[in-house]
Chains A and B, each alone.
Chain A
């Protein structure tokens, strides 16, 4: 029982990060109908910015803020500088451009900062709080959970309660009509990318201190799991990303704990296959069939 509780708590903290990153993929999908394979590499660039800012100012929070700003800026640059020029007749072209972008960004980071892994510190106690003899979540894990929930709530408000949110949704679902009604669709697209990249940067920033540290490849595995989460939850559904993230996080932790680390990625794959067979659009999909 103790062991189960321990594994559940560990999985929850990790799942929250998967959820946040998956949410960023959902945002781009909703805005541009593109699965952005460069999301991980873009996020890691933003974390490098945060690392530099924290190093210069000595403040974690200055780095925290700069990661979000840098994330948004990278989203802007990638949308305006690269993705805008992707041919729209095939969804593959966007995917291939994104994969190329991953190589360029990771190699550039490698050239500039080297392949070494740099440790990142957080201003939180990472020792877990012990409840009834079982180590559960650490204050940092709680912080991650709170940030994840807060970001999702804020995005929920943005999309459903503000004029900007309405315009974002409108230009994603009916670009032609929106344009006729005076919505600046291309600007909305850019804003969608900026929002998404900022959320991704935040997720990566939260993840890196819990793993080996910062390197150009820090987000490789995060992207793979978060992509699975997004598909499991439904690429169209922010609540799906949240729930999917927690489910995948807990599943990995339980499988690692009871069956072994080698089996964990296979368990995630099995979950993905089962979900795609039973509900091809993902658990929370609104529509019956996905479009890509």
Chain B
């Protein structure tokens, strides 16, 4: 490792010296020829841009998330087939980290040092990505649209190269609690959460609305034990009527299934990370899921409505470029990430540099495809500070039309502003 760093330092020194020399030349004589500034940006050639990511393709987390990078890849294939962005094809290097932070560190260093990627896109997971946050920022590698709802990614002063993608867990917790209060003001509201930042931040958000101690019962689960009977039993005994869930999809299914076995049928309000209906059907089975999940409430910030134009386009891309893989929330998510990156790359201009890419996102001009405007700006690296409420009816999950945004510590009801589909879903195309 130290060797790599030393090599890197030497490279930096050499580059700096070369740059200084070049400056001296240009300062004193005729314009130099042949030194295209684009050559300085790693991962960018005349006709390609290479970016990378770390994803759990194997291991226990693969079941929930391995389809995301495949969807992003399919979207890039679609873009490349149609001429790419500013004439460049996007090459997406997907490395498997097995959701193990130690492996994440290795593969991300490989991507940056050996593959010389232009940027890291959509690295997945809070514990995994946290382990490379300092490294990427020290090396000034754009670290775009992290796939996790942790609030860590939104620290522009500390981590100027890192940008979030998900609506963060505090926003989701606040929105779910607000919806619970608006819909059933007298209900006993409780929470089941993962025993890490995910659970903590949703509790934090919920307490913004309900006040300190406003949750009648808070139960935690650990991913190392796939038995939540004790926790669900406690919630049942406490008389919980609305249960907020800070759970991944598997544990959402487990919670709902376990409660049903205990003859306990509260309302379930899940964060978007664990509230994807097609995925939950996979866990619970075709027969049981529609019954158990009738009225299941969750949040979303992406255009996943079954009859929307974005979904139609993404379905078409999924069929053509992703071998018709099962179409679910992960597909919409992965393709939306791809779209936003393509938009940022288009905005970075004909000769994109790493700083140029970061500036393009920080400008606040990006639109994305969410149901609310992006929150990116010079002092905000959060993508979405609001979410729409969704519910399942007769096996179809869709927005109910209620949308909340977190403004400071206050939850406000806002109007959704869906982005119309233009240029066949390829940014910059007319």
Contacts and interface: CB of A to CB of B under 8 A. Distances in A.
Given A215-B63, A217-B60, A257-B233, A119 B225 contact: no
A256 interface: yes
B62 A265 contact: no
B285 A121 contact: yes
B226 interface: yes
A94 to B, nearest CB: 25
B233 A135 contact: yes
Contact of A7 (B59, B224, B230, B262): B230
A87 to B, nearest CB: 30
Nearest to A252: B225
B237 A3 contact: yes
A211 B226 contact: yes
Nearest to B288: A119
Contact of B263 (A110, A127, A215, A257): A127
30 contacts: A3-B233, A3-B237, A10-B227, A107-B58, A110-B58, A115-B62, A115-B63, A116-B282, A117-B282, A117-B283, A118-B282, A126-B261, A127-B261, A128-B262, A135-B263, A138-B261, A211-B254, A212-B250, A212-B253, A215-B60, A220-B60, A221-B226, A252-B227, A253-B230, A256-B230, A256-B231, A261-B221, A262-B195, A265-B222, A265-B224
A119 B231 contact: no
A260 B62 contact: no
Contact of A115 (B66, B226, B253): B66
Contacts, number: 91
B109 interface: no
Contacts of B284: 119
A210 B58 contact: no
Contacts of B288: 119
Interface residues of A, number: 36
Given A135-B262, A262-B195, A264-B222, 9 more contacts: A107-B58, A117-B250, A121-B285, A127-B261, A212-B253, A212-B254, A252-B225, A252-B227, A261-B195
A14 interface: yes
Interface in B90-136: none
Interface in B312-367: none
Nearest to A107: B58
B221 A128 contact: no
A213 interface: yes
A146 B139 CA distance: 61
A260 B250 CA distance: 19
Contacts of A264: 222, 225
A60 interface: no
Contact of B230 (A10, A117, A211, A213): A10
A67 B222 CA distance: 29
B305 interface: no
Given A119-B285, A215-B63, A261 B222 contact: yes
A159 interface: no
B155 interface: no
A3 B217 CA distance: 15
Contact of A221 (B225, B253, B261): B225
B294 interface: no
Q: Which of B225, B231, B262, B263 has the most CB of A within 10 A?
A: B225
Contact of A6 (B63, B222, B233): B233
Nearest to B262: A135
Contacts of A128: 261-262
A79 B393 CA distance: 52
A9 to B, nearest CB: 9
B229 interface: yes
Nearest to A135: B262
B234 interface: yes
A262 B220 contact: yes
Q: Which of A10, A115, A210, A221 has the most CB of B within 10 A?
A: A115
A262 B231 CA distance: 12
Contacts of A212: 226, 250, 253-254, 283
Contacts of A2: 237
B63 A116 contact: yes
Contacts of A257: 230, 233-234
B231 A261 contact: yes
Given A107-B58, A119-B284, A253-B230, A261 B253 contact: no
B225 A261 contact: yes
Interface in B260-310: 261-263, 282-285, 288
Which 4 A-B pairs give the minimum distances between C-beta atoms? A115-B62, A211-B226, A119-B285, A257-B230
Contacts of A256: 225, 227, 230-231
A257 B237 CA distance: 12
Interface string B209-233: 0000000000011101111111101
Interface string A217-239: 10011000000000000000000
Given A10-B230, A127-B263, A212-B226, A115 B58 contact: yes
